[in-house]
Amino acid sequence: MAEHEHVRVAVIGSGFGGLGAAVRLRREGVTDFVVLERAGSVGGTWRDNSYPGCACDVPSHLYSFSFAPNPDWPRTFSGQPHIRAYLENVADTFGLRPHIRLNHEVRMMRWDSGELRWEIETTRGTLTADVVVSATGPLSDPKMPDIPGLDSFSGEVFHSAQWDHGADLRGKRVAMIGTGASAIQIVPAIQPDAGRLTLFQRTPPWVMPRMDRAISGAERWLHGKVPFTAAARRRLLWSIRELQVSAFTKHPNELGLIESIGKANIGRSIKDPALRAKLTPSYRIGCKRILLSSTYYPALAQPNVDVVASGLKEVRGNTLVASDGTETEADVIIFGTGFHVTDMPIAERVVGAGGATLAEAWKDGMQSLRGATATGFPNWMTIIGPNTGLGNSSMILMIESQLSYLADYLRQLDVLGGSVALDPRPAAVDAWNTRVQERMKRTVWNTGGCTSWYLDANGRNTTVWPGTTAEFRRATRGVDLGEYDVVRAGAGRPLVRQRTGDHDRVVDRESV
């Protein structure tokens, strides 16, 4: 990379969000952009998470870009290798490779108010950009708990997202910490090899049967030869999930029938009443992420598996001590403890117009305008930002909605012309978040009686979108300039787009 190279758009990350942004830029005629990726290949979380059993819990035909259908998905729920291969294929098919800069980790991004551009410091040099699209994603930085005495453990220790493929688990005493989406896939995959497998569970998850099967050759042939059949399959999968949303967002008390199915799923495999009691949640289904597996409970019923219904409190040499005092000897510790979701580490590397970092701006909780832009950080946009997560459908739907917002954002900059930036007005950000949090009050995520990774340190849900994907698509179809200050180079004050009758006019903020 040349010193002080300048591009119109810099995209950070090459997972679904980053590659999707790159494709949309190309389709909008924007070719002056780079994709900065800290690793040596594309794929994001589907590159990093390569643990045994890793797969998606959203059907393949829905967990893919609408503009890049794949008729050859081998299973209804695809595994990590196939999803990673799909993303590599997207990079090739849409000619993204020349734009991608691998091994370019972003160290810091600073807004230059004089030049109206972002200065981006990477491990391979510095460049500037008019617009930054942060697509680092919420599942990119593993969260390791601070366990007293962990450094005294003599065995192997790793996080599920940083799997040690050199570790031989055969005959070993393995401790699995956590019972989230990764753990319920890992446990059945490693149980046959482990000499003894101990699962440390703070809160039992709701686990529903995984209706997975191989997609037949005839189906794949039909989807390839008659593309509308794959599109119809995708739309059906989407429609079913849209119909489910109101139960989670408006009528959580109607989820009792689903809970009975979940309890029956436990009862089919777990005959021991004491173990069944440990594994039965006491909170409303959906409050935490609903997990899918048809092999998790059968694995827990095996004679070489123990379930400790208490979190890991401390480590004393090779002895693991749970919060309830239970002691377990282990040779390997695997942490399935999730990611930094409500405290995205990238926020510490973004310095806005006022000299503060995004992390400082979000110290009381993440909030943005329409899940995309943040006050004081002009021409900076995040993909999968605050309150854009989903509890029951495909995140690719939300990503594509945000890409439409990005496309219109760039069009608005072109219409305004010259050196210009958009900075979301505080009142607009507050109004948007007030509406989101008001809707959140009656959702199962806030009323279901659990503590989940959807909630931040203040107990505020800054992760999930409290509505349908269709509602979000409508809300992000275009940029409303009335929600932004228009900042021009050399202007003493930011300019504001103001509506007067049937016309817009641009005035400085102090005259508004």
Residue 49 has pLDDT above 50, yes or no: yes
How many CA atoms does the CB half-sphere of 463 hold within 13 Å?
27
3-class DSSP string for 90-102: HHHHCCCHHHEEC
Amino acid 489: pLDDT: 83
Amino acid 503: pLDDT: 36
163 Cβ neighbours under 8 A, 6+ residues apart: 49, 50, 51, 52
**DSSP summary character for residue 71:** T
Average pLDDT over residues 147-166: 96
pLDDT tens digits, residue range 262-287? Answer: 999 999 999 999 999 999 999 999 99
Average pLDDT over residues 487-507: 50
Q: What angle do CA 218, 221, 227 make, to 5 degrees?
A: 125
Predicted confidence band at 506 (pLDDT cuts at 50, 70, 90)?
very low
Average pLDDT over residues 300-316: 97
pLDDT tens digits, residue range 104-113? Answer: 999 999 999 9
In sequence order, the β-bridge partners of residue 311 are none
Amino acid 403: pLDDT: 98
d(CA 473, CA 442): 22
Average pLDDT over residues 417-423: 96
Determine what percent of the chain is predicted with pLDDT higher than 90. Answer: 90
Residue 344 has pLDDT above 90, yes or no: no
Amino acid 509: pLDDT: 42
Amino acid 391: pLDDT: 83
Residue 491 has pLDDT above 50, yes or no: yes
CA distances from 341 to 200, 277, 365, 384, 463 (A): 22, 30, 11, 10, 8
- Record the pTM: 0.93
Helix, strand, or coil (residue 261): helix
Amino acid 495: pLDDT: 46
Amino acid 457: pLDDT: 87
Average pLDDT over residues 305-316: 96
Amino acid 57: pLDDT: 94
Top-confidence residue, 343 or 134: 134
Q: What angle do CA 42, 70, 339 make, to 5 degrees?
A: 40
Amino acid 498: pLDDT: 39
Contact 57, 118 (CB under 8 A): no
Average model confidence (pLDDT) across the chain? 93
Instruction: Write the DSSP string, 216-227.
Output: PHHHHHHHHHSH
Neighbours of 107 (CB within 10 A): 12
Residue 366 has pLDDT above 60, yes or no: yes
Amino acid 467: pLDDT: 96
Amino acid 314: pLDDT: 97
Amino acid 512: pLDDT: 32
Amino acid 292: pLDDT: 96
pLDDT tens digits, residue range 16-26? Answer: 999 999 999 99
Residue 510 has pLDDT above 80, yes or no: no
Angle between helices 227-249 and 217-225 (to 10 degrees): 100
Which tokens hold the place of 37? 């990726």
Rounded to 5 degrees, φ, ψ at 456 are -85, -175
